[in-house]
């Protein structure tokens, strides 16, 4: 699972303090800040619900912002078809940040599906719209897809572009350097990769092990607290993963070759736990 990191500035409102359509009594600006903060803290389910509600009552740039968070949250929750539905209309927006993040995330989804021509196009487009480390990540992932397509020269150009764009993320700088030297990471897959499906009995094809993920958090301290909540009931672990090039700490339980078994554990844990591919392990 990968998702682009989002930083969203304030939006000015006009005509007093409009209310949202919910029953919370929040102003539209309070709702906006809430779903943006929820996404930033890794609370993707709540971020998605808040963004969808805001998108239904907003227009213009504010709706685009809400749609972006809805799409990014969907991707983080491994609902890729839904993520594309939210993000596709944003690909050619005038706001380069919105268009770039939407293109980058759709590119990552295409890459997870093994659709490397689409991935390379979208990620290269994102690299041209974004800035700094975000642009560098997009260029790096574009290089990965070009390499998968056997287009070595374009891959090297993308890695060189990424090197020139990276700003302050030293881990990212190392990742780009490794790729430029030919040290490629293992292929990434989504919940259902291209050619990889589940059988009627729930068995996972192509050795894609499943796990139950309780959440993915930006700090190890938060991940440890969440892991502690279920430590007495399950064999829990914390796995460092990359989400749009940003390091997160995923709290996970078990590894399963059968979806039915994974679903049983998910129901026992409850809360916001989801069944996902044990990527990064």
As a whole-number percent, the residues of the chain with pLDDT over 70 amount to 75
pLDDT of residue 59: 93
pLDDT of residue 260: 86
How many Cα neighbours within 13 Å face the side chain of 261? 11
Entry pTM: 0.64
At the topology level, CATH places domain 210-277 in Alpha-Beta Plaits (3.30.70)
The class level of CATH for 28-180 reads mainly alpha
Stretch 27-36: mean pLDDT: 65
Sheet holding 210-217, edge to edge: 236-243, 246-256, 210-217, 274-277
The domain ranges of the chain are: 28-180, 210-277
Highest mean pLDDT of the ranges 28-32, 79-83, 117-121: 117-121
pLDDT band at 228 (very low <50, low <70, confident <90, very high): confident
C-alpha torsion angle, residues 100, 106, 108, 111 (rounded to 10)? -130
Mutual orientation of helices 116-129 and 96-112 as an angle, nearest 10°? 160
Q: 53-62, 79-88, 134-143, 198-207: lowest mean pLDDT where?
A: 198-207
For residue 30, is pLDDT > 90? no
For residue 23, is pLDDT > 50? no
């Amino acid at each position: 699972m990968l998702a682009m990191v989002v930083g969203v500035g304030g939006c000015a409102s006009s005509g007093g303090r409009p209310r949202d359509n919910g029953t919370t009594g929040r102003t539209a600006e309070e709702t906006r800040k809430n779903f943006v903060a929820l996404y930033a803290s890794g609370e993707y389910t709540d971020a998605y619900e808040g963004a969808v509600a805001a998108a239904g009552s907003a227009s213009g740039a504010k709706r685009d912002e809400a749609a972006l968070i809805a799409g990014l949250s969907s991707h983080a929750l491994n609902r890729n078809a839904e993520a594309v539905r939210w993000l596709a209309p944003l690909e050619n927006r005038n706001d380069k940040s919105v268009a770039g993040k939407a293109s980058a995330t759709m590119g990552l989804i295409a890459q997870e599906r093994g659709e490397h021509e689409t991935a390379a196009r979208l990620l290269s487009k994102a690299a041209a719209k974004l800035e700094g480390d975000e642009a560098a990540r997009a260029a790096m992932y574009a290089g990965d897809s070009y390499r998968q397509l056997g287009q070595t020269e374009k891959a090297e150009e993308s890695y060189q572009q990424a090197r020139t764009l990276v700003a302050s993320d030293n881990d990212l700088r190392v990742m780009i350097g490794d790729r430029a030297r030919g040290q490629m990471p293992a292929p990434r897959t989504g919940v259902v990769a291209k050619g990889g499906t589940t059988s009627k009995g729930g068995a996972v094809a192509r050795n894609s092990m499943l796990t139950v993920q309780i959440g993915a958090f930006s700090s190890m301290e938060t991940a440890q607290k969440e892991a502690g909540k279920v430590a007495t009931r399950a064999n829990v672990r914390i796995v460092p993963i990359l989400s749009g090039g940003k390091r997160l700490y995923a709290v996970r339980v078990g590894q399963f070759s059968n979806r039915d078994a994974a679903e049983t554990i998910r129901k026992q844990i409850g809360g916001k736990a989801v069944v996902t591919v044990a990527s990064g392990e």
